[in-house]
């Protein structure tokens, strides 16, 4: 976390937090602050987004200092824009405290560089989930860049579709893939595979949120992990301390 985030939690009258917030983070909040869970998990929402928007606004209009606490960076697939738009329309001032987005945090905890001279010159962030009811149908031809790295957020359930789409668009079957479940938390789990294997078998992950990192920039690290027999492991100390909010 950043110092600014810790200060914001300490000054809050009410904290509206997500399920993805790591253990111990809420302990940094003002002891007198009310804590309200409004988190979402895959397929299960404790509150619809519209109700979360209204709850933030109601608490602020009541004169309370509100912290809307999210895992990772709130501005990367975090629906923060919808909440900000709602508050702006009501004239409620908002300050965003950035955090470490999942792709960068997971890459760091695994010791990976997402770009590499002569191998990967770009990183693309993609979400594997649209709005409720929308189908996952990205432009595979655009995403299948052999000179780039892909970070697929919330990718566990769509892993086969991702593998099939990217290989169908021309990426080699042996392209390295790292699936990171519960990234940057003490219970982080990593699983190495290839694009071809993922297209038929999916990825080895439980029920936690899973990020897929895909591309040639990962190859040397994947070979090293396989040689060490560490194809699936838990995050270390760095992973535990990268709960950005």
Active site residues: 18, 40
Three-state DSSP at 44 gives strand
Please give the Cα distance from 221 to 165 (Å, whole number).
24
User: What values do phi and psi take at 103, rounded to 5?
Assistant: -60, -45
Q: Is residue 233 helix, strand or coil?
A: strand
Other CB atoms closer than 10 Å to residue 178's CB: what's the count? 22
Give the whole-angstrom CA distance, residue 148 versus residue 150.
Answer: 7
Phi and psi at 207, nearest 5°, equal: -100, 0
């Amino acid at each position: 976390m950043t110092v600014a985030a810790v200060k914001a939690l300490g000054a809050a009258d009410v904290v509206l937090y997500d399920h993805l917030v790591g253990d111990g983070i809420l302990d940094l909040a003002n002891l007198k602050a009310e804590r309200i869970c409004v988190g979402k998990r895959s397929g299960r929402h404790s509150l619809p987004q519209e109700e979360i928007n209204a709850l933030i606004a109601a608490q602020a209009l009541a004169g309370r200092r509100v912290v809307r606490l999210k895992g990772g960076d709130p501005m990367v697939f975090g629906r923060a824009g919808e909440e900000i738009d709602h508050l702006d329309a009501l004239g409620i001032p908002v300050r965003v405290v950035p955090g470490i987005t999942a792709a960068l945090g997971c890459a760091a905890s695994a010791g990976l560089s997402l770009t590499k001279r002569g191998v990967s010159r770009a990183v693309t962030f993609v979400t594997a989930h649209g709005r409720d009811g929308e189908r996952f149908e990205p432009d595979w031809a655009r995403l299948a860049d052999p000179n780039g790295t892909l970070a697929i957020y919330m990718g566990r359930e769509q892993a086969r579709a991702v593998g099939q789409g990217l290989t169908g668009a021309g990426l080699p079957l042996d392209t390295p893939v790292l699936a990171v479940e519960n990234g940057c938390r003490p219970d982080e789990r990593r699983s190495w595979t290839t694009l071809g294997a993922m297209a038929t078998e999916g990825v080895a992950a439980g029920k936690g949120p899973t990020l897929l990192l895909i591309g040639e920039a990962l190859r040397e690290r994947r070979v090293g992990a396989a040689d060490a027999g560490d194809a699936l492991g838990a995050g270390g100390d760095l992973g535990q301390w990268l709960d950005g909010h």
